[in-house]
Amino acid sequence: MGLLTEWISHLITFILLAVIIDLILPNGSFQKYVKIVVGLLFIFILFSPLLRLFHGNVDTWFASIQHQQNETLENDIERKKKEIQASQRAYILEQMAVQLKNTAAEELMRTYGLTVTDISLTIGETEKTPPPIEAITVELAEETSSVVKPIRIESSPQITNEHDDLARFLANMWGVDPQTITIHLERRE
């Protein structure tokens, strides 16, 4: 409130001083230059609260703008980094699945008469390359023939033993723990 009263008192004082100067000066070419200077001073006094507001805080204002820009830039960089890591992770998973499939395909066909239809991997959240494999889900199907046969699903101990045998076979071939492998076998008869 004190700033407002001070500003108003400065305006009133200046206006009175300007009127007195205008009355004292004789009419002539010098008077228009004085009026221009008085007008500029009046504008300066009129906007002086704004100048005071920005004068003391200009450095902090620029510093805060710079800080906000730096934070935005850091956030953008961090977001891009996460996107790149996610795409690299997906690529690594895809390449690992292809390598595992290619490694096992021929031997699995020769030994069990099965083909790998899909492999999905779950890997650990570490920075190591290659990342540790936590789980492998393998979908297998019997070799297809030209005649379509009906599908029969059975739940018997023989299938569980066969799954365990396949998991041990694949784990031995891939060099992983058999407990990490889950087998989904599609039977065609």
Containing structural domain, residue 152: 92-186
Residue by residue, what is the 3-state secondary structure of the chain? CHHHHHHHHHHHHHHHHHHHHHHHCCCCHHHHHHHHHHHHHHHHHHCHHHHHHHHHHHHHHHHHHHHHHHHHHHHHHHHHHHHHHHHHHHHHHHHHHHHHHHHHHHHHHHHHCEEEEEEEEEECCCCCCCCCEEEEEEEEEECCCCCCCCCCCCCCHHHHHHHHHHHHHHHHHHCCCHHHEEEEEECCC
Note whether residue 132 is domain-resident.
yes
Token look-up 């018997």 returns 156
Note whether residue 162 is domain-resident.
yes
Identify whether the C-beta of residue 125 lies closer than 8 Å to the C-beta of residue 137.
no
Q: What's the pLDDT at 148?
A: 55
Cα–Cα distance for residue pair 122/135, rounded to 1 Å: 5
Least confident of 66-80, 132-146, 172-186: 132-146
The amino acid sitting at 16 is L
Question: Percent of the chain scored above 70 by pLDDT?
Answer: 82
Domain count across the chain: 1
> How confident is residue 157, by pLDDT bands cut at 50, 70 and 90?
very low
Tokens of 32: 């228009």
Cα–Cα distance for residue pair 175/178, rounded to 1 Å: 9
Note whether residue 128 is domain-resident.
yes
Note whether residue 41 is domain-resident.
no
**153: domain CATH number?**
3.30.300
> Is 76's pLDDT higher than 90?
yes
pLDDT tens-digit profile of 30-51? 788 888 888 898 888 888 877 7
Tokens of 68: 């906000």
Identify whether the C-beta of residue 87 lies closer than 8 Å to the C-beta of residue 94.
no
Q: What's the pLDDT at 34?
A: 83
Q: What's the pLDDT at 138?
A: 86
Note whether residue 121 is domain-resident.
yes
Whether the link from the prior residue into 131 is cis, omega within 30° of 0, is no
Note whether residue 157 is domain-resident.
yes
Note whether residue 154 is domain-resident.
yes
When pLDDT is averaged across residues 105-125 and rounded to a whole number, the result is 82
Average pLDDT value over all residues in the chain: 80
Note whether residue 4 is domain-resident.
no
